[in-house]
Amino acid sequence: MWHKRIHYPPISHEKRNGTINRKRTKRDIIVIGASAGGVPVLQRIFAEFPAHLAAAVGVVLHRSSEASGLLSVLSRRAALPVMEPDHPMTLKQGTIYLAPADHHLLFRRGSVDIYRGPREHSSRPSVNVLFRSAAEAYGRRVVGLLLTGCGEDGVSGLISITAAGGLTLAQDPAEAYMPYMPLNAIRYDDVAGVISLDGAAQTLYSLAHGDDVSVKVMAGS
């Protein structure tokens, strides 16, 4: 079967230094999305989070619909507890919530929940669902980060975060195993910053504590 070629708008790969979160808002709701190549990236970020992170972290990684050992793999070197919710629970700071297989993860006001709704971009769990729910519940407190992967899942969720006053970040496509998700985030959401894995955990930590941080921004943005 022939597939129609998608023509993306052009994008500059030139980056410059910039400062974000100048108003020093505490971004203590962190949501992260990843797909192909995401496991080692998430392992590194989880390992570099400080144990006293004053934020709740939600993570969607595109995965098989079958139960797997992903939770164990991502927990192995994590400085914070990593949980796969199987029922509604209180949302707590200092905890990482991983979307379980074949279920969407939602951040609600004061709680975290899962549901087996329709797929988005052929994905369940979907990054968009988590990002949109966080934006609706927490507004300016949210920082969203889109990591390595194919396709556009997460882009409309980042747009929702931006519209609600939150901050959006993308992994530097030049270092991503699959650059298409972060590239699409930069194209369509005009993310606040482009970050390298070196220092990604520290950037999120600083934003959670209300600091301004220096990041790379795309030239012309």
Identify the active-site residue in 35, 75, 123, 133.
Answer: 35
Q: Looking up tokens 């997460």, which residue turns up?
A: 154
Give the per-residue pLDDT at 143: 98
Give the per-residue pLDDT at 99: 97
Alpha-carbon span 172 to 179, nearest angstrom: 8
Identity at 59, one-letter amino acid code: V
Bond into 179 cis (ω within 30): no
Identify the active-site residue in 28, 104, 153, 156.
Answer: 153
CA atoms within 13 A on the CB side of 192: 23
Identity at 164, one-letter amino acid code: A
Instruction: Of 26, 72, 78, give the one whose Cα is nearest residue 207.
Output: 26
214 is catalytic: no
Residue spans of the chain under pLDDT 50:
1-10, 220-221
pTM for the model stands at: 0.91
198 is catalytic: no
Q: Which two tokens stand for residue 165?
A: 């006053």
Give the per-residue pLDDT at 14: 60
Identify the active-site residue in 28, 62, 126, 189.
Answer: 62
> 10 Å Cβ neighbour count for 111?
14
The pLDDT tens digits of the residues spanning 15-54 come to: 678 899 999 999 999 999 999 999 999 999 999 999 899 9
Alpha helices per DSSP H over the chain: 38-48, 70-75, 127-138, 155-163, 180-189, 200-208
For the chain, list the domains and their CATH numbers. Answer: 26-63+74-216 (3.40.50.180)
153 is catalytic: yes
